[in-house]
Amino acid sequence: QGPISGVNKEIAVLQCHGDCDPLVPLRFGSLTVEKLKSMINPANVTFRTYSGMMHSSCIEEMMDVKQFIDKHLPPID
């Protein structure tokens, strides 16, 4: 554990969480995203919640992940 500096402070983060997760309560996700925002550029942190989603995934989440990857990673040739 050390300070985040340089280019790492500008890293883009997508955090996803279901609002019905019985293993990791939504409150923990909210606390985590606030901690991330205090460590890196908060404008680069995106927190998405999904209604009715438990400790799993859903099509909406996978579409958000795809859009995030398309936006932040170079295309594969």
Backbone angles phi, psi at 36, to 5 degrees: -55, -45
Enumerate the β-bridge partners of residue 49. Answer: 17
pLDDT at 1: 52
β partners of residue 13? 45
Task: Give pLDDT tens digits for 21-71.
Answer: 999 999 999 999 999 999 999 999 999 999 999 999 999 999 999 999 999
Checking if the pLDDT of 4 tops 80, the result is no
Q: Where are the domains of the chain?
A: 13-72
